[in-house]
Amino acid sequence: MAKEAPEIKRKFSLKRYLLTGLLVWLPIVVTLWVISYIISLSDGLVAMLPIQWQPKVLVGHDVPGFGLIIAVVVLFFTGVFGGNVIGRKIIQAWDSMMGRIPIVKSIYSSTKKVSESLLSDSRQSFKTPLLVNFPHPGVWTVAFVSGNVPEVLLDSLPLLAEDDEYLNVYVPTTPNPTGGYYITVKKSDTRALDMSVDDALKYIISLGMVGPDGHEQNEQQETLPLQQHGSH
């Protein structure tokens, strides 16, 4: 039995070191993979350039990330163009033209509205994480306010007290928050969260294992003495 104890201790140490190494390398590998994927995807834009402007002609070989640079430059100058009076009028004329084409107008207008809702600085959407009962009463999940309820829906919903209102809420799935459920709830049935959108998304993606920064630090401070005690 005395001989088995050191062997068991070595196995536990080996497992702990392997897990520690995995926790160090996994975020690095995933980050590099995502960056590599974005760069390779954006490099497809190079094929849209005239042949004489492509890196293979200019410098004799392909330049990784050149497509990403092109995308950033195009987005910047498009933003500058759309930020002045003439540019806004041209964009409005373009929107009006796209809105007259059957089928295309549905796709274009829907994409534009979603983009404006997600990316506009003046938006209220996805700025307010909260707790809602989902999928049934007594079960709480993190969700985001996704906008105001349109009048068409309000006319069909039950009347509320004067100090209450309905909210459009997006309930993301985990660990992939890009899919989820859109629901309409009473504000009185929700609970406010003292949490930023970034912290809420981290919490969802990590399956609830990574909380807000303050809570995470507290957990680390509480577990650190235990780890030190165990090492002795």
- Residues 59-77 have pLDDT tens digits of 777 777 788 888 888 889 9
- pLDDT on residue 57: 75
Whether 164 maps to a domain, the answer reads yes
Whether 80 maps to a domain, the answer reads no
Whether 185 maps to a domain, the answer reads yes
**Into how many domains does the chain fold?**
1
CA-nearest of 156, 188, 187, 194 to 169 is 187
DSSP state of 192: E
DSSP state of 149: P
Whether 222 maps to a domain, the answer reads no
Whether 17 maps to a domain, the answer reads no
What are residue 141's DSSP bridge partners?
Answer: 132
Structure tokens at 155: 């006319």
Range of the domain at 136: 129-216
Which stretches within the chain are classed as H helix? Answer: 4-42, 55-58, 66-82, 85-98, 104-119, 151-154, 197-205, 213-231
Whether 44 maps to a domain, the answer reads no
- 183 near 132, Cβ under 8 Å? yes
- pTM of the predicted model as reported, rounded to 2 decimal places: 0.53
> What distance, in Å, lies between the first and last C-alpha atoms of the chain?
22
Q: Residue 227 pLDDT more than 60?
A: no
Which stretches within 43-159 are classed as H helix? Answer: 55-58, 66-82, 85-98, 104-119, 151-154
Mean pLDDT confidence for 84-91: 88
CA distances from 167 to 21, 34, 209 (A): 45, 34, 28
- pLDDT on residue 226: 37
pLDDT, one tens digit per residue, over 150-178 is 888 888 888 888 888 888 888 988 887 77
Structure tokens at 166: 């309905």
Whether 231 maps to a domain, the answer reads no
CA distance linking residue 202 with residue 177, whole number of Å: 10
Query: Any idea of the CA torsion for 179, 184, 189, 195, to the nearest 10 degrees?
Result: 40
Q: Residue 122 pLDDT more than 80?
A: no
Q: Residue 222 pLDDT more than 50?
A: no
Structure tokens at 75: 């987005």
Whether 78 maps to a domain, the answer reads no
Q: Residue 218 pLDDT more than 70?
A: no
